[in-house]
Amino acid sequence: MTAARKDSIEILAPAGSREQLTAAVRAGTDAVYLGAGGLNARRGAENFSDFARLREAVEYCHASGVDVHLTANILVRDDEWEQARRLIEDACALGVDAVIVQDAGLSRYIHAVAPELVMHASTQMSLHTPGAAAAAAAMGFRRAVLSRELSGSEIAAITAVSPIETEVFIHGALCMCVSGQCLFSAVLGGRSGNRGLCAQPCRLPFRVTGDRSGFDGCMSLKDMSHIGHMPELQAMGVRSVKIEGRMKRPEYVAAAVTACRLMRDEGEVPPALAEKLAAVFSRSGFTDGYFTGRRGRAMFGTRTRDDVVSASPALLNSLHPLYKTECSRVPLRMKLTAADADSPAVLEACDGSGHSLSVTGDKPQRAEKAPFSQPFAERILGKTGGTPYYLETLTSDVGEGLTLPSSSLSAMKRGILEGMDVLRRAARRIPFDDSAPDGTPSPRKEFAPGIPALRVVFHSAGQVPDRMEGVSMAYLPLETDEETLARIAARLRAQGVIPAVEAPRGLFGAEKQTEKYAVLAKDNGIMNIMIHNAGLIPVMKRVGMTLRGGFGLNVFNSRALDGYRALGVADNELSLELTLGQIAALGSLQPRGMIIRGRIPMMITRNCPAALSPKGCTGFSKQNEGPFCSVTDRTGRELPVLCRSGCSEIFNPVMMSVIGNVAGKTRNALSLDWVTLSFTTESREECAAIIAGVLNGVLPKEPGITSGLYLKGVQ
């Protein structure tokens, strides 16, 4: 097996352990992604937990011609910054080929202290529009890892205009939720998916409320496999395809890498290998529903007993030959010189990546029978089995009548291979300067004593009360029809309330339509828009709207506040995973606020669970009035499902409120500019009563509420 063409699409494999790493490299991957320490999205994997293990992994990969992408793809707390600093310094010292990042604060820090370190924007950043690729480029990223939920045509549209490389997932698990937008595991058990500790509660039994079919996997999708679509992805210009699975067995990794490589290089995957790949791990088979746009019932599946027993010891053993020996992928161009019998022979080699060396051997001998033969030398020097090298070309300059025995050629070859290993393992250090101006957060904002201003977010226009004096800003859904929007906006202005709009979190294929809605809002005098996706930053700047960052941007630390301020976002709503104490301690000059009451949005999905109901999803209301359905967990609790802009949001069944902890204070103890009431399933009358109660200091009595994550935090 030799290296693929340099213009071929990259195969990127998971390496959650040394065994996985070896399997991926030997099976022929082009690159691996791996974690070190705790700042990665698979903290439960073995990972490469100390510098020595990470160095050995990087050296092995680089000697083998494999790139290393280091994962730093979680949200980082302010008190973890020293750990983050050491990780990035180590990455630079070892010369990793890229670092995968989710946190806007961490990306800002890396771009400041190590601008030559290549950054890839994690799929946890929810990148699924052309604008998202542009925003990632503005943040210093050189590659965008796109959301799994995109169709092939949507991937092509983004890639065609992206100023940076694109990467897509090709095989592995499908989360029910759009990556980076899930709070399910955090809310139910304090294990944050945004922090690399997802407990996968969505794989537990859930059913569509009222569905009597008996299926309880309405929150569990089959694993994806787009391997058959690799030629299309390469034709689109996608740079890399990524295999999910840092928690899976090495046999799985070897089988997936081999299948991808054969599809790319030979145009097909042997049926026997495809069957083994399905048997080693799947959830009722595979799906390509997102890629083809055929979403719905067929995409759902659970891990059955048959799926488990299919991964038998005999099957796993049959996959071991896929990674028994090293993959010869590093080409060597050699030159052999033995001009005269008085001078030692010299063998030179270069690998095409800037590494070259020469080895001196024995003096050539007078040929008693046959003189030097080029084919003979190529045969001896080309025997590189068990190493990552192969002989690409050999040129020779051997004097007439001279020859070199096989033992002399073999000795020089060993010297070349050993010396090349040393050269290729040596770290390509990347400059790191922690004293760079943007490497530290801006000075802490000074807050005036007093109760923060009050903002309100409505899920539908029908929830807006007649009287709202005292509210500073009120958000309506961006898609609200123009007549209704204009009428409510005028009423709000008359009461001293700033009218604003909130863009959807899910923007799949809807960026142009979202921009049209924003233009209509601006034409009606509405200048403020809340965004939950960085992809709308360049779009709304083009429209001329004032940007207000929503909770979907996952602002988790002081540097993230600075980062969005630098991108032109006027203020930010903080992550729902921060504690009140962590919120109070945040630095930065950027204005900030938090949601103090509302249903916690557990996840957003592009595959409505109601698709499993015999009635199917009832569709999306123009006025966004719902809920249309709910899902029921194994305890009988119903989780409301609200549909908007082609996506479904699933909410916590218990109302969250920390009004008494924040808005009821007589001074701004949490250092906030405003607090937000978020309304979803409430009636207009309920909205009016809650707003009036907060403004008048009469706290509404709501039984069975939760403080969410504001008091207990997340791991």
Least confident of 61-70, 158-167, 607-616, 690-699: 607-616
**Residue ranges with strand state E in 323-479:** 330-338, 346-350, 356-360, 365-366, 389-398, 402-403, 453-458, 473-477
Q: Which phi and psi (to 5°) does residue 52 adopt?
A: -65, -45
The average pLDDT across 341-369 equals 94
Please state, in angstroms and rounded to a whole number, the distance separating the CA atoms of residues 28 and 261.
7
Residue 434 has pLDDT above 80, yes or no: yes
Please state, in angstroms and rounded to a whole number, the distance separating the CA atoms of residues 33 and 673.
40
Model pLDDT, residue 306: 81
List the beta bridge partners of residue 573: 593
Distance of CA 271 to the CA centre of its chain: 31
Instruction: Answer whether 442's CB lies under 8 Å from 588's CB.
Output: yes
Please state, in angstroms and rounded to a whole number, the distance separating the CA atoms of residues 239 and 496.
51
- In tens, the pLDDT along 152-194 reads 999 999 999 999 999 999 999 999 999 999 999 999 999 999 9
Q: Which phi and psi (to 5°) does residue 509 adopt?
A: 65, 10
Least confident of 162-171, 447-456, 634-643: 447-456
Please state, in angstroms and rounded to a whole number, the distance separating the CA atoms of residues 564 and 267.
44
Residue 402 has pLDDT above 80, yes or no: yes
Please state, in angstroms and rounded to a whole number, the distance separating the CA atoms of residues 606 and 30.
31
Q: In what helix (H) or strand (E) does residue 411 lie, and over which residues does it extend?
A: helix 406-425
Please name which of 506, 567, 574 lies closest in space to residue 540, comparing C-alpha atoms: 567
The average pLDDT across 283-288 equals 92
Lookup: tokens for 507:
């923007």
Instruction: Answer whether 504's CB lies under 8 Å from 647's CB.
Output: yes
Instruction: Answer whether 390's CB lies under 8 Å from 382's CB.
Output: yes
Model pLDDT, residue 616: 61
Model pLDDT, residue 621: 43
Q: C-alpha angle with apex 180: 178 to 181, nearest 5 degrees?
A: 65
Least confident of 78-92, 325-339, 429-443: 429-443
The average pLDDT across 252-268 equals 97
Lookup: tokens for 71:
């994962």
Please state, in angstroms and rounded to a whole number, the distance separating the CA atoms of residues 261 and 255.
10
Amino acid at 709: L
Distance of CA 375 to the CA centre of its chain: 50
Model pLDDT, residue 623: 42
Model pLDDT, residue 622: 42
Instruction: Answer whether 69's CB lies under 8 Å from 94's CB.
Output: no
Instruction: Answer whether 628's CB lies under 8 Å from 642's CB.
Output: yes
On average, the pLDDT of the chain sits at 93
**Residue ranges with strand state E in 237-323:** 240-243, 286-287
Q: Please report, in angstroms and rounded to a whole number, the separation of the first and last CA atoms in the chain.
A: 44
Write the DSSP assignment of 195-217 as a string of letters. Answer: GT----GGGS-EEETT--S---B
pLDDT band at 701 (very low <50, low <70, confident <90, very high): confident
Model pLDDT, residue 715: 87
- In this prediction, what percent of the chain has a pLDDT beyond 90? 82
More confident residue, 486 or 701: 486
How many CA atoms lie less than 13 Å away from 101 in the CB half-sphere? 28
Model pLDDT, residue 192: 94
Distance of CA 207 to the CA centre of its chain: 28
Return the residue matching tokens 């082009």. 30
Least confident of 42-56, 76-90, 166-180, 424-438: 42-56
Least confident of 15-29, 578-592, 606-620, 685-699: 606-620
Longest C-alpha distance within the chain, in Å?
A: 108
Distance of CA 243 to the CA centre of its chain: 12
Lookup: tokens for 324:
């028994």
Residue 348 has pLDDT above 90, yes or no: yes
The average pLDDT across 197-224 equals 91
The average pLDDT across 664-679 equals 77
Q: DSSP 3-state assignment of 476?
A: strand
Please state, in angstroms and rounded to a whole number, the distance separating the CA atoms of residues 691 and 598.
12
DSSP classification of residue 706: B
- Give Cβ neighbours of residue 523 (< 8 Å, ≥ 6 apart): none
List the beta bridge partners of residue 375: none
- Give Cβ neighbours of residue 524 (< 8 Å, ≥ 6 apart): 482, 485, 486, 489
pLDDT band at 364 (very low <50, low <70, confident <90, very high): very high
Residue 362 has pLDDT above 50, yes or no: yes
Please name which of 451, 492, 419 lies closest in space to residue 665, comparing C-alpha atoms: 451
Please state, in angstroms and rounded to a whole number, the distance separating the CA atoms of residues 611 and 618.
9
Please state, in angstroms and rounded to a whole number, the distance separating the CA atoms of residues 331 and 262.
20
Residue 666 has pLDDT above 60, yes or no: no
Please state, in angstroms and rounded to a whole number, the distance separating the CA atoms of residues 25 and 34.
13
Please state, in angstroms and rounded to a whole number, the distance separating the CA atoms of residues 25 and 710.
43
Give the pairing of strands 286-287 and 223-225.
parallel
- In tens, the pLDDT along 552-599 reads 999 999 999 999 999 999 999 999 999 999 999 999 999 999 999 999
- In tens, the pLDDT along 306-327 reads 888 788 999 999 999 999 999 9
Q: Say what the pTM is.
A: 0.95
Residue 3 has pLDDT above 60, yes or no: no
Instruction: Answer whether 697's CB lies under 8 Å from 474's CB.
Output: no
**Residue ranges with strand state E in 504-545:** 528-531
Please state, in angstroms and rounded to a whole number, the distance separating the CA atoms of residues 124 and 393.
44
Residue 618 has pLDDT above 60, yes or no: no
